[in-house]
């Protein structure tokens, strides 16, 4: 199986020893504590899960700025996005060597991790803007990722963490949430050595389904990892439980047994386009995947990124050898009326846009809200039925 990023073995930061976990929980009761941002809590979940291997905790200011500027830490580790614990008010933490991090997304704000404080530093507005502009390629406050980062405060609390739980992800999505090591273990049990990963924050229509099949066949894979984001999204995106149900139904009916794993990970969407695509590749490598599908407008939002910027970054900016995972570059896929199947548009130079079945997201939502069936060339009827139930329940 493919080696993790930056180390020979996977080193998740979740404390697996129950006695050690109990001791940390007890210690946390006597420590200065702070309710962290949703982003910092999600970072803790990803660090605990092994997805952010080989990081040992939250980055300091020098690492964050270096990662933003050059996609590597001050020590030279390739990394695409700063992993931070940013706070607005740190007055209660002054002089503390150890602090308890409390979860903003669970009732009662339980302790999600204990952090050893290496440093508390302040980002200037200029430094924070540099991070924003480099990571998101825009400083537009209307960009959801920019807005989320701007809201997090300017104090960088860095240092290693020990993770005590996986927030709400394990309890709300027990059949879907999986750590990187759990995915590796299941791949080994299934006998998979070559695995292609598909990222999604949306339900999967016919084009997505066929894209997974195309990549699987093109690389000669043993299996497909459909890996969905389970964390916070922007307003209007479909909730994780609805996506989960629709994807599982599609896999159950339309893929042969033992070819697909449907799993999810606990992270808030950044909508950072190219930089987030690289982060997606890093943590799919940590989960053991050998190939990763990067499609049109990967991790994008609005008109902030070109349709294939997320592919270009791997060719133009990621240093050779920085990652072991291979990128499968996908074009826009859609049903061809001429060929009666889903195709990649780049493979059909004789087609015009009128030769494809393409529906906008707005049109799909409108039809489903009215109880109108989607074309079977666009969506499997079993999937459309689940989505229709969700939209009609919204009124």
CATH classification at residue 187: 3.40.50.620
Residue 228 lies in a domain: yes
Q: Where among 145, 167, 189 does a domain terminate?
A: 167
Provide the b/e sequence for 64-91 (b: ≥16 CB within 10 Å). Answer: bbbbbeebbbeeebbbbbbbbbbbeebe
Closest CA to 103 of 33, 159, 172: 33
> Average model confidence (pLDDT) for the chain?
96
Q: Are residues 181 and 327 in the same domain?
A: yes
Range of the domain at 27: 18-167
Q: End-to-end alpha-carbon separation of the chain, Å?
A: 47
Given this model, what pLDDT does residue 238 score?
Answer: 87
* Alpha carbon separation from 368 to 124, 201, 375 (Å, rounded): 47, 19, 11
Segment 13-34 shows an average pLDDT of 98
> Measured between alpha carbons, how far is 199 from 330 in angstroms, rounded to an integer?
13
State the average pLDDT over residues 263-286: 97
Strands (E), the chain: 33-35, 57-58, 86-87, 98-102, 111-116, 119-122, 155-163, 195-200, 223-229, 260-265, 291-294, 326-329, 333-336, 341-344, 356-357
318 within a domain of the structure (yes/no): yes
Split into its structural domains, the chain has a count of 2
Give pLDDT, residue 105: 97
Whether residue 51 is found in the same domain as residue 142: yes
Q: 125 lies in a domain?
A: yes
Please give the biggest Cα pair distance in the chain.
69
Convert the pLDDT of each residue in 119-143 to its tens digit: 999 999 999 999 999 999 999 999 9
391 located within any domain: no
List, edge to edge, every strand of the sheet that includes 333-336: 341-344, 333-336, 356-357
Mark which of 300, 332, 364 sits at the end of a domain. 332
153 part of a folded domain:
yes
> Residue 390: inside a domain, yes or no?
no
Please tell me the distance from the alpha carbon of residue 7 to that of residue 137, in angstroms, as a whole number: 30
Domain shared by 83 and 211, yes or no: no
**48 and 191 belong to one structural domain:** no
- Exposure pattern of 185-220 as b/e (b: 16+ CB <10 Å)? ebbeeeebebbbbbbbbebbbbbbbbbbbbbbeebe
**In the prediction, which pLDDT does 188 show?**
97
Residues 125 and 227 in one domain: no
Q: Taking 70 as the threshold, does the pLDDT of residue 158 lie above it?
A: yes
Residues 115 and 228 in one domain: no
Asked whether residue 179 falls in the same domain as residue 327, the answer is yes
Whether 132 and 241 share a structural domain: no
Q: What is the pLDDT of residue 395?
A: 66
Query: Do 250 and 105 belong to one domain?
Result: no
| Residues annotated as part of the active site | 201-202
* DSSP string computed for 231-259: S---TTSPPHHHHHHHHHHHHHHHS-TTS
Q: Which residues have C-beta within 8 Å of that of residue 139, sequence separation ≥ 6?
A: 129, 132, 133, 146
CB of 265 closer than 8 Å to CB of 226:
no
Q: In this structure, what DSSP letter does residue 388 have? A: H
- 206 in the same domain as 158: no
Could you tell me which residues are beta bridge partners of residue 87?
Answer: 155
CATH number of residue 139's parent domain: 3.10.400.10
Same domain, 130 and 45: yes
304 versus 393: the higher-pLDDT residue is 304
Q: Are residues 61 and 145 in the same domain?
A: yes
pLDDT for res 321: 96
Does 328 fall in a domain? yes
Alpha carbon distance 51, 380 (integer Å) = 32
10 is a domain residue? no
DSSP at 72: B
Burial class (CB in 10 A: 0-12, 13-18, 19+), 54: middle
pLDDT reading at 20 higher than 70: yes
DSSP E strands: which ranges in 60-97? Answer: 86-87
Residue 186: its pLDDT value, please?
98
Of 167, 189, 218, the one marking the end of a domain is 167
SS3 280: helix
């Amino acid at each position: 199986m493919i080696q993790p990023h930056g180390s020979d073995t996977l080193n998740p930061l979740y404390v697996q020893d129950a006695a050690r976990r109990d001791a940390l929980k007890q210690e946390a009761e006597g420590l200065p504590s702070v309710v962290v941002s949703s982003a910092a809590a999600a970072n803790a979940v990803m660090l605990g899960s092994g997805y952010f291997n080989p990081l040992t905790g939250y980055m300091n200011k020098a690492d964050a700025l270096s990662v933003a500027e050059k996609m590597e830490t001050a020590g030279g580790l390739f990394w695409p996005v700063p992993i931070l614990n940013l706070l607005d008010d740190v007055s209660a933490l002054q002089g503390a060597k150890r602090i308890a991090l409390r979860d903003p997304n669970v009732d009662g704000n339980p302790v999600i991790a204990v952090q050893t404080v290496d440093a508390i530093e302040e980002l200037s507005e200029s430094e924070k803007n540099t991070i924003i502009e480099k990571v998101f390629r825009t400083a537009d406050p209307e960009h959801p990722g920019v807005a989320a980062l701007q809201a997090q405060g300017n104090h960088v609390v860095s240092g290693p963490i020990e993770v005590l739980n996986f927030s709400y992800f394990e309890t709300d999505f027990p059949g879907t949430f999986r750590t990187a090591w759990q995915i590796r273990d299941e791949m080994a049990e299934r006998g998979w050595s070559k695995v292609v990963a598909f990222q999604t924050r949306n339900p999967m229509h016919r084009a997505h389904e066929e894209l997974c099949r195309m990549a699987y066949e093109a690389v000669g894979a043993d299996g497909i990892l459909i890996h969905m984001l389970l964390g916070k999204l922007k307003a209007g995106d479909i909730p994780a439980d609805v996506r989960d149900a629709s994807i599982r139904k599609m896999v159950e009916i339309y893929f042969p047994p033992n070819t697909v794993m449907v799993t999810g990970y606990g992270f808030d969407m950044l909508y950072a386009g190219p930089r987030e695509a690289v982060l997606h590749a890093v943590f799919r490598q940590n989960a053991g995947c050998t190939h990763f599908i990067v499609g049109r407008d990967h991790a994008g939002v609005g008109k902030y990124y070109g349709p294939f910027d997320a592919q270009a970054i791997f060719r133009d900016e990621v240093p050779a050898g920085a990652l072991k995972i291979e990128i499968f570059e996908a074009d826009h896929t859609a049903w061809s009326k001429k060929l009666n199947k889903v195709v990649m548009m780049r493979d059909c130079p004789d087609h015009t846009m009128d030769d494809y079945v393409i529906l906008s997201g707005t049109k799909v939502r409108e039809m489903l809200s009215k109880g109108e069936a989607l074309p079977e060339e666009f969506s499997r009827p079993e999937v459309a039925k689940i989505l229709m139930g969700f939209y009609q329940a919204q009124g």
